[in-house]
Amino acid sequence: MEYVKRIVNSLVAENGTNNPFEICDALGVFVFYPELPENVQGFYYNVMGYKIIGINSSLDDEQRRVICAHELGHSLLHPDMNVFFAMKQTNLLTEKFEREADYFSACLLLDKSVINELRRGAEQVTASALSSLCRMPQKLIDLWLEGVK
């Protein structure tokens, strides 16, 4: 998924930040916070060319940041795909798209300077420790580490 890293690096360089909310604002992606069912953390929709991200209003700030980055990944990697439609109305497997969006969010949110500093202080920093220190789900850390190899 080297192309995802290139997209993220270009995006961060162009916008001067890895903050997904600031990047959404710069790109004209509308973010709002509806009340959603407990099992739905967020969604991305493209409606008549308008990119929209909904993030469950019950999430805390750190969860919102991760979900926003994930949905931003969908908006850039799969701009015309509405995942809910794909899951409900087609036989299309969405796992690939979800994995790409997860990897995008991990690449966007993991501050490489922090990780490099952590690695200097310890021979082996575990994924669990990185997850805790970076306030990100471990599955994203694991996915990012897979891409580093």
Q: Are the beta carbons of 6 and 47 closer than 8 angstroms?
A: no
pLDDT tens for 44-64 read: 999 888 999 999 999 999 999
The structure's pTM equals 0.84
pLDDT higher at 90 or 146: 146
pLDDT higher at 15 or 130: 15
Q: Which of 2-11, 106-115, 132-141 has the lowest mean pLDDT?
A: 106-115
Segments making up each domain of the chain, as ranges = 2-109
CATH label, 2-109, candidates 1.25.40.320, 1.10.10.2910, 2.102.10.10, 3.40.50.150: 1.10.10.2910
Per-residue confidence (pLDDT) for residue 87, from 0 to 100: 55
DSSP 19-77: -HHHHHHHHT-EEE-----TT--EEEEEETTEEEEEE-TTS-HHHHHHHHHHHHHHHHH
CA–CA dist 112, 148 (Å, integer):
11
Per-residue confidence (pLDDT) for residue 94, from 0 to 100: 73
